């Protein structure tokens, strides 16, 4: 477990990718602008929380998040997220996706591939419709 909660961290170093056995990453309440591509190396990661990282510009979720095949919980509440990568559909074990209070207007169709998803919360976004095939 790596908990860096409630600091003023703006950037995670790419060397964080050396923590390939990491199961839990909690970077809530910081000033993170983005997650490094190295997050795709966390193939055992099952819990990622990056909440309340409100910054003055838009946060982009790394496209390599889809490599985190064991991820079961992804909490991105209260960021300035405007987009989710299509690779999120690769998260076959994802059961909780919390993306409340961001700036999302669409949800990628690949999310329909997350068949274990049983908690999906998009409260406080600008989404007008769910993707085709999403139940």
What pLDDT digit, counting tens, does each position of 74-119 carry? 999 998 888 899 999 999 999 999 999 999 999 999 999 999 999 9
φ, ψ at 41 (rounded to 5°): -85, -10
Please check the confidence at residue 59 and state whether its pLDDT lies above 90. Answer: no
Residue that has been written with the tokens 């095939």 in this structure? 133
* pLDDT given for residue 135 in this prediction: 65
Quick one: CATH architecture of 2-121?
Answer: Alpha-Beta Horseshoe (3.80)
Angle at 67 between CA 53 and CA 33, to 5 degrees: 20
pLDDT band at 57 (very low <50, low <70, confident <90, very high): low
* pLDDT given for residue 124 in this prediction: 97
pTM of the model: 0.91
Domain boundaries, the chain: 2-121
Q: How many CA atoms lie within 13 A of 77 on its CB side?
A: 14
pLDDT band at 58 (very low <50, low <70, confident <90, very high): low
What pLDDT digit, counting tens, does each position of 2-54 carry? 999 999 999 899 899 899 999 999 999 999 888 888 888 999 999 999 999 86
Please check the confidence at residue 73 and state whether its pLDDT lies above 90. Answer: yes
C-alpha to C-alpha distance for 102 and 93, rounded to whole angstroms: 23
* pLDDT given for residue 61 in this prediction: 73
Please check the confidence at residue 56 and state whether its pLDDT lies above 60. Answer: no
């Amino acid at each position: 477990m790596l908990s860096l909660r409630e600091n003023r961290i703006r950037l995670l170093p790419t060397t964080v990718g050396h923590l390939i056995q990491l199961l839990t990453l909690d970077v809530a309440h910081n000033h993170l602008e983005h997650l490094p591509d190295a997050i795709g190396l966390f193939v055992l990661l099952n819990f990622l929380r990056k909440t309340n990282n409100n910054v003055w510009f838009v946060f982009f979720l790394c496209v390599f998040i889809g490599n985190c095949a064991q991820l079961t919980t992804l909490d991105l509440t209260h960021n300035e997220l405007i987009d989710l990568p299509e690779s999120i559909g690769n998260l076959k074990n994802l059961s909780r996706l919390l993306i409340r209070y961001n700036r999302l207007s669409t949800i990628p169709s690949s999310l329909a591939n997350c068949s274990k998803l049983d908690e999906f919360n998009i409260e406080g976004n600008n989404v007008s419709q769910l993707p085709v095939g999403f139940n």
